C-alpha cells in the first residue's frame, strides 16, 4: 500500500495517472495530515509514501537507518507571479529582474538549501 496526503498534488498525479514514469499503484490510502502519513509508514500500514520532498526529507533524516527517499520527482512545477492586466507593469518588470538576479547571485539556491533541498535539481533543473 502507498500513502499520501489527501488533496495534495501527489495524490492527483497518482489518481489521474499523470506521470507515465510511475508504476501503477493499485492500493492507495490518503491521510489528512503529513503526520498521519508518517505514522502509517512507521507502523507498517504503508510500505511507501509520497509527498513533498522537504517534508519527507525531514522524516527520513530523523530515521536514516529505517527509511530512505528515492531520487525521483513525481512532478516539476514552475512558479510564477500573476498581476492584474491593468496592474503596474514597471513593478512586474522589477520583480522579474529581482528574481533573475537572485537566481544568478545564488540567493535562490541558498534559500532552497536552507530547507534541505538539492539546489541543482530544484533551482537549476538538473537531472536526477
Predicted pLDDT of residue 107: 92
Question: What is the reported pLDDT for 127?
Answer: 46
> In this predicted structure, what is the pLDDT of residue 87?
86
98's grid cell: 529581482
* 26 has pLDDT over 90: no
Per-residue pLDDT at 67:
81
pLDDT digits (tens, 9 = 90+) for 70-95: 766 666 656 678 888 888 889 989 99
Between CA 109 and CA 41 the distance in angstroms is 31
Percent of the chain topping pLDDT 70: 80
Total H helices, total E strands in the chain = 6, 3
Amino acid at each position: 500500500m502507498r500513502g499520501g496526503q489527501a488533496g495534495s498534488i501527489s495524490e492527483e498525479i497518482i489518481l489521474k495517472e499523470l506521470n507515465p514514469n510511475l508504476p501503477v499503484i493499485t492500493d492507495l490510502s490518503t491521510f489528512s495530515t503529513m503526520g498521519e502519513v508518517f505514522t502509517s509508514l512507521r507502523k507498517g500500514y504503508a510500505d511507501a509514501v509520497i509527498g513533498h520532498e522537504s517534508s519527507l526529507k525531514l522524516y527520513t533524516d530523523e530515521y536514516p537507518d529505517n527509511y530512505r527517499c528515492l531520487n525521483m520527482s513525481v512532478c516539476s512545477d514552475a512558479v510564477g507571479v500573476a498581476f492584474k492586466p491593468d496592474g503596474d507593469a514597471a513593478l512586474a518588470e522589477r520583480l522579474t529582474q529581482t528574481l533573475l538576479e537572485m537566481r544568478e547571485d545564488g540567493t535562490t539556491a541558498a534559500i532552497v538549501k536552507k530547507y534541505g533541498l538539492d539546489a541543482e535539481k530544484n533551482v537549476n533543473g538538473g537531472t536526477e
